[in-house]
Amino acid sequence: MTRSPRGSGLRLLAFCGLFVALDTATQVAFKAASESVENVDFGLRFIEIALATPALWVTVLCYVGTFIVWMAVLMRMDLNRAFPLTALTYVTVPSLAYMLLGEQLPPLRVAGIAVIITGVCMIGWKR
């Protein structure tokens, strides 16, 4: 599939960065929303509490934003080069979970994140 010149490199980079940011925000918002229903059995009460949780609505908005930005990325880039961008959330989500939520980030997980970064760079590398 041939891409038109309308998608400049800087614009594409901005869309890619925005995609990763929105996708990461979605996961962090999911975690925040899940805390409101943590000890509630699944059922009508669970749904009522979840729907009354602002973090759930932030999650929905982030999902919609992610969808829109992902379409913009795919308009400017082949899927086989764009898809590895989604793996970058394996870097950003654990990093934010560590910084904002106090979750652990053991050395083996850090090594895995380094492997993911290496893989994304290798897949995206132009000859």
Q: What is the pLDDT of residues 71-81, one digit of tens each?
A: 999 988 888 88
Which residue did the predictor score with more confidence, 126 or 106?
A: 106
Evaluate whether residue 3 is within a structural domain: no
Write out the two tokens for 127.
């000859």
* Residue whose tokens read 């990763």: 20
Local confidence band at 116 (pLDDT 50, 70, 90 cut-offs): confident
Question: Containing domain of residue 33, as a range?
Answer: 9-124
**70 pLDDT higher than 80:** yes
Evaluate whether residue 39 is within a structural domain: yes
Evaluate whether residue 111 is within a structural domain: yes
Q: How many domains does the chain have?
A: 1
Evaluate whether residue 57 is within a structural domain: yes
Evaluate whether residue 35 is within a structural domain: yes
Evaluate whether residue 68 is within a structural domain: yes
Evaluate whether residue 1 is within a structural domain: no
Write out the two tokens for 11.
């614009």
Evaluate whether residue 94 is within a structural domain: yes
| Per-residue pLDDT, 18 | 93
Predicted model pTM: 0.78
Write out the two tokens for 12.
């594409």
Instruction: Quote the CA–CA distance of 69 and 74 in Å, as a whole number.
Output: 9
